[in-house]
Amino acid sequence: MKAEKTTDDESYKQLSKDDLDKLFQNLDSDVTNNRHGGIRWIEDKFLKELPGQAVKNKLLIGLGLKPKQMKQGENYEFRVRRGNVPPMAWEREWEQLSESERDRGPKIDYTRQGLYDYPEKSEYVFEDYPHLETMNELFTRWPQDELEKPPSPIIEQLIHFDFSDPKDLAMAKTFRDARVPFKVYNIPEILAAGERWTDEYVSSQFDRQDSSARSHGTCQESHDNFFAFYSPATWHTNIMGPPPYRNNDWTYQKWSNHAKYADVTSLSFDQPHFYWQSGVPPSERHEPKDKWTFVSRDLPSFSANTETFFQFQPEEQKGIQCRFGERGVTAATHYDNGQNMVAMITGAKRYILSPPKECSKLGIVTSRGNTLFRHSLLNFGHILQLETFKDIPEQERGWLERSKTSLAVETVLKAGEVLFIPSHWFHYIISLQKSAQCNVRSGVDEIGTRKFGGGQDVYDCK
């Protein structure tokens, strides 16, 4: 075995090829065998220094790490082929289930209206809106990975406006202009898309063989339910090890089968999870409509060239992003510069929103060009483990102690609803069941609000 190379910083200890190959072999074995991996802690080198802490980890500021030239068809470090391998462990279990068992769905269908208690509507944004709580309070009331044990009822803090009621829509515009989060419902095109987007329909769009108006999507895999963004061009595996997730070559239909399997079996948080993602480029809306892919066709208010309630600065539209989630998939907290409208087409997700002023408590990487830029690696579900586990790495423990005091508001975004997330608000997302969600962003609001902060609070975040 080759000796490890080191630099003047322990963060730059390099893995030998043999050691790196072994890590990937173990990862592949865990995924194909559907293994329980237990709680995955974060190595100290991946977390930035706490406020006031001396800089000892140069990894996160990218010292000496230059972007790699990524070739067409990334190697096994970032993309893995699973199409021609023998059936995976979950597939063998799935094949043993009867058709009625496969169609059983999740134990709790979070699209049911009777689960929720809603706040009264308001024509103006009152002082305590939205009401914020600490992360510790949110996760104590409803632990992240206990998806079958929600509070009863689920108390919604965000105001819900009826999109089809002119008076409600006018109130929603007031909240949008005030740069605070809210939701709208009863949106004809979203409801129609929810009816149309069956597995058969969506699969026919992604998995079709002809290239005419074919949609493109990618399946991502992680050896547990936590997905943290990174840029492959600046993720150096010889130093950083395997990335947080990899892409694979599944079809949408295979992903959909696993998502149904996750619902039916209540897949454990520490088993492999899969996430389907797709994007529509901003140029598509300028093409003839017969060239549009199904997302643009089915969500005309998102893809229009003219102003709509959801795309209110059309010249700044950056395309449409769609995320198809399965039970348990948790997306690490991050922020977007653009003002975000998020439509839940099918299923439901739990969103935890934190205002820009909370940036310093969330472990956000603000170094532009860093592989984790705009994102955090912190799994907030670990907040409840602080008293139970004594072997949590020092840096992660320090950040979790800080994060548990950060302020946030939560909401369950369910089929037929659209959530407005202002610029620079952080969002942490937990998929409660098989779901489809698409979002569009309209321009950047740098100002924010005096109470919650804005772009500068994030850019100056330490």
**80-128 confidence digits (pLDDT tens):** 998 777 899 999 999 999 999 999 999 999 999 999 999 999 999 988 9
Q: What amino acid occupies position 65? A: L
Q: Is 184 exposed, middle or buried (0-12, 13-18, 19+ CB in 10 A)?
A: buried
Average pLDDT rounded to a whole number, residues 382-410: 97
Helix axis angle for 252-265 and 199-206, nearest 10°, is 150
Pairing verdict, β 348-354 and 273-280? unpaired
Residue 331 tokens, joined: 């997306």
Specify the pLDDT at position 233: 86
Q: Which residues of 407-425 are buried (b: 16+ CB within 10 A; e: fewer)?
A: bbbbbbbbbbbbbbbbbbb
Given pLDDT bands bounded at 50, 70 and 90, which one contains residue 8? very low
Specify the pLDDT at position 208: 81
Average pLDDT rounded to a whole number, residues 162-172: 98
How far is it, in rounded angstroms, from Cα 68 to Cα 233? 5
Note the pTM of the prediction, 2 decimals.
0.94
How far is it, in rounded angstroms, from Cα 167 to Cα 178? 17
Q: How far is the CA of 391 from the CAs of 42, 54, 378, 395, in angstroms?
A: 11, 22, 16, 11
Specify the pLDDT at position 234: 87
How far is it, in rounded angstroms, from Cα 205 to Cα 146? 34
Tokens 């949008």 label which residue?
Answer: 176
Given pLDDT bands bounded at 50, 70 and 90, which one contains residue 462? confident
Given pLDDT bands bounded at 50, 70 and 90, which one contains residue 368? confident
Helix axis angle for 89-96 and 252-265, nearest 10°, is 70
- Is the previous residue joined to 232 through a cis bond, with omega within 30 degrees of 0? no
Q: Please answer whether residues 31 and 25 qualify as being in contact, where contact means their C-beta atoms are separated by less than 8 angstroms.
A: no
Specify the pLDDT at position 340: 97
**Percent residues over pLDDT 70 in the chain:** 92
How far is it, in rounded angstroms, from Cα 239 to Cα 65? 10
Given pLDDT bands bounded at 50, 70 and 90, which one contains residue 66? low
**29-44 confidence digits (pLDDT tens):** 999 999 999 999 999 8
Average pLDDT rounded to a whole number, residues 411-415: 98
